[in-house]
Amino acid sequence: MTDFKFNEDNLQKINGILTKYPVKKPAVMPVLYLAQEQNGFISNDVIKEVADLLEMTPEEVLGVVTFYTMYHQKEMGKYHIQVCTNVSCMLRGGYDLYDKVKEKLGIDNMQVTEDKVFSLEEVECMGSCGTAPMIAVNEDYYENLTKEKVVEILDSLKNKN
């Protein structure tokens, strides 16, 4: 594996981010998002590069990465399926959706399909309690779902690929 370097576009974005804070360290969260977007996941090389850039120790950056659930230390699928099973969703069939997605994709929590198209995560409350149950695909919310609708969503993503 080669060393990770930010591309020009992201370096420019990082310069913009740094203007928002009086010191460099607070930029670690937004910069890690950019790294994850560019690299697909947070590798050890990413951590070293981010630490160098923001004058932090790699340990400090790793500490941030492991604290927050939205940074992934392994490659996830092209479509990261997040199913909420917290109470408001659970009361309206959240676990039915979760089981259906597991069955349909043949993977369990935090696993990736062999073709790397899908990955699955059981997530905590996403703030869709009034439109439950829900799933999120990467950054997009799909709300007021049924098992049938979830199958449709997964099928259309599969076809799109």
Residues found near other proteins in the complex (CB under 8 A): 20, 22-23, 25-30, 32-33, 54, 56, 60, 63-64, 67-71, 85-88, 90-92, 123-132, 136, 139-141
CB of 133 to other proteins, least distance (A): 11
Angle at 128 (CA atoms; ends 127, 131), nearest 5 degrees: 160
Residue placing its CB nearer to other proteins in the complex, 48 or 151:
48
147-160 helix and 94-105 helix, angle to the nearest 10 degrees: 40
CA 148 to chain centre: 24
CB of 114 to other proteins, least distance (A): 26
Residue placing its CB nearer to other proteins in the complex, 21 or 155:
21
Residue placing its CB nearer to other proteins in the complex, 2 or 67:
67
CB of 100 to other proteins, least distance (A): 18
**Rounded to whole angstroms, how far apart are CA atoms 47 and 53?**
10
**Rounded to whole angstroms, how far apart are CA atoms 50 and 60?**
10
Extract the runs of DSSP E, i.e. beta strands, from 45-131.
79-84, 118-123
CB of 115 to other proteins, least distance (A): 25
